[in-house]
Amino acid sequence: MRLAFLWTSLLASLALGACGGSNAARSGDAAGPFSVGGTTGGGGGAGGGAGGNPSAQKQAFVSYAMVQGDVGLAAADTACNEDGTLWFTGRNFVAFLSTSTESALARIGDGPWWVGGSRLGSPSDLASNTLGTALKSSPTGSVFATGEYVWTGTASGGIVAAAQTCADWTTKSNTVTGQLGQIGYNLEKWTASTIDTCDHEGHLYCFER
């Protein structure tokens, strides 16, 4: 009887240990699509092509930061980089914002960009609204609700939305307006969904340069 009891206790202890290890492994997993390291140095190898290590690809994400129309380009870029360091250490990100003198596509430079391990597209893909995947993930891979708003100042086709840049991101006046896109859409709504007054808050799209 005593031997049987000890054997049963041992089996129970082993089972609990296995469950604890499994839970610990899950709690340490990276969220969402960002399941690889965030530096460009390690594990890249031939990762520059499709199917390579996603950490070696240029990345794009949605900012945690919510800003009003007076954010300013420099502060918007800083917000993108502060969020980017949560996962992509040592890499440079800029906000996808158009001004009266420069389109967002010109600001972000050359692609293509990826969202984790999924290809988002090249500048021409973005201009033609043919995204390979929806841009709706944070820098750590968590997914925002479809339809949340993002300041862009950018019309369909990647061009400047004339007079819709919150006075080049210098005002949060409720009498001045700017162009917003919406998270999670692959067609033109990703960058040109609605116009609203600059006192409202929105996310930023952040692209690696």
Q: Is the pLDDT of residue 137 over 50?
A: yes
Q: Is the pLDDT of residue 171 over 70?
A: yes
Q: Is 146 exposed, middle or buried (0-12, 13-18, 19+ CB in 10 A)?
A: exposed
pLDDT band per the 50, 70, 90 thresholds, residue 13:
very low
Q: What tokens appear for 52 in the block?
A: 């390579």
Residue found under tokens 């050359």: 110
What CA–CA distance (Å, rounded) separates 48 from 46? 6
Q: Can you name the residues that pair with 183 across neighbouring β-strands?
A: none
What CA–CA distance (Å, rounded) separates 118 from 133? 7
Q: Average pLDDT of the chain?
A: 80
pLDDT of residue 24: 27
Going by C-alpha positions, the residue among 195, 160, 205 that lies closest to residue 59 is 205
pLDDT of residue 23: 31
Q: Is the pLDDT of residue 35 over 80?
A: no
What CA–CA distance (Å, rounded) separates 91 from 158? 24
Q: What 3-state DSSP class applies to 133?
A: coil
User: DSSP assignment, residue 125?
Assistant: H
pLDDT band per the 50, 70, 90 thresholds, residue 19:
very low
Q: Is the pLDDT of residue 30 over 70?
A: no
Q: Is the pLDDT of residue 9 over 90?
A: no
Going by C-alpha positions, the residue among 85, 32, 91, 93 that lies closest to residue 60 is 93
Over residues 72-129, the pLDDT tens digits come to 999 999 999 999 998 888 899 999 999 999 999 999 999 999 999 999 999 999 999 9
pLDDT band per the 50, 70, 90 thresholds, residue 186:
confident
pLDDT of residue 10: 37
Q: What tokens appear for 17 in the block?
A: 């240990």
Residue found under tokens 């799209």: 205
pLDDT of residue 55: 64
Please report, as a single letter, which amino acid is at residue 206. C
**Does residue 140 contact residue 87 with C-beta atoms inside 8 Å?**
yes
Please report which residue ranges of 28-110 form alpha helices under DSSP H.
73-84, 104-108
Domains and CATH numbers, the chain: 54-137+144-208 (3.10.100.10)
Q: What is the pTM of this model?
A: 0.76
